[in-house]
């Protein structure tokens, strides 16, 4: 099932009888760009980790956990380090992978497909994992990039609070700009723990989102790509 992109006008949505809880449970999103404050990078990474550790310690305390226990007393700093350096490192544009372009000396003019790129992200509505695979493809307009860079671009955008539709489009738009081509396709098949571990608690469902640009936006190319993914 392909989910259509949905852009939400919060005020209009509220007038229709819905609130922010409904938006979160329905996994709707507000735009292509990850919502960021204007001063998002006012604090250094070390300052962010220090502040997050203090705040997470407070959360643990409110939950009633004994922070003097040897197993728990280091958790706030571990969580802070994990947030900044690992699972949300994609929020910082300085962490975007450096991409080198090369001439297409092989004159390979068919689609190149990198499939089954495993990624871990986090739902921006409940901060629980999204686990999935991404398949990306492009047709060279004269330049190519190293295969590992396709994986790294996927990982960069996955490492931030996400909605799957936005993740799909962000990867596609980056590849279009980097490769200077509209001929880009992105398919993501993922499992959302906010669906399987809470709320409806459906453990068997998965979500598929797609982006087909340029030559890929034809029945013939879509069928060809899908055929490669089955192999």
Whole-number pLDDT of residue 30: 67
Residue 123 annotated in ligand binding: yes
The CATH class, in words, for 100-230 is: alpha beta
Residue 10 annotated in ligand binding: no
Task: Give residue limits of the domains in the chain.
Answer: 10-94, 100-230
> pLDDT tier at 21 (50, 70, 90 boundaries)?
low
pLDDT digits (tens, 9 = 90+) for 47-92: 999 999 999 999 999 999 999 999 999 999 999 999 999 999 999 9
pLDDT at 212 over 90: yes
Q: What is the largest CA-CA distance in the chain?
A: 63
Q: What predicted TM-score, i.e. pTM, was given to this entire model?
A: 0.86
pLDDT at 6 over 90: no
**Alpha-helix residue ranges (DSSP H) falling in the chain:** 10-15, 20-25, 45-62, 75-82, 147-158, 164-179, 193-196, 219-230
Count, residues in the chain: 231
Euclidean distance between the first and the last CA atom of the chain, given in angstroms as a whole number? 20
Check residues 203 and 19 and name the one with the higher pLDDT: 203
Residue 126 annotated in ligand binding: yes
The answer to whether the CB of 150 falls within 8 A of the CB of 136 is: yes
Architecture of the domain defined by 10-94: Orthogonal Bundle (1.10)
What the block records as the tokens of 156 is 């960069």
The answer to whether the CB of 45 falls within 8 A of the CB of 91 is: no
pLDDT digits (tens, 9 = 90+) for 132-149: 999 999 999 999 999 999
d(CA 194, CA 28): 13
Average pLDDT, the chain: 89
> pLDDT tier at 184 (50, 70, 90 boundaries)?
very high
Positions marked active-site: 123-126, 164, 192, 194
């Amino acid at each position: 099932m392909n989910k259509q992109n949905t852009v939400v006008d919060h005020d209009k949505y509220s007038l229709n009888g819905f609130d922010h809880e409904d938006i979160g449970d329905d996994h709707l999103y507000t735009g292509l760009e990850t919502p960021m404050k204007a001063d998002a990078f006012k604090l250094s990474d070390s300052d962010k980790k220090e502040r997050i550790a203090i705040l997470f310690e407070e959360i643990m305390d409110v939950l009633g956990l004994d922070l003097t226990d040897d197993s728990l007393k280091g958790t706030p700093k571990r969580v802070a380090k994990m947030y900044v350096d690992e699972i949300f490192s994609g929020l910082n544009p300085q962490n975007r992978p450096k991409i080198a372009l090369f001439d297409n000396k092989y004159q390979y003019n068919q689609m190149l497909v990198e499939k089954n790129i495993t990624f871990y992200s986090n739902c921006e509505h409940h901060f629980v994992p999204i686990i999935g695979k991404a398949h990306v493809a492009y047709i060279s307009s004269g330049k190519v990039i190293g295969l590992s860079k396709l994986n790294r671009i996927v990982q960069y955008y996955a490492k931030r609070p996400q909605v799957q539709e936005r993740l799909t489009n962000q990867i596609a738009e980056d590849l279009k700009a980097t490769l200077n081509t509209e001929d880009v396709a992105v398919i993501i098949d993922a499992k959302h723990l906010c669906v399987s571990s809470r709320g409806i608690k459906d453990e068997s469902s998965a979500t598929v989102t797609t982006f087909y640009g340029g030559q890929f936006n034809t029945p013939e190319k879509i069928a060809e790509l899908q055929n490669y993914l089955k192999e």
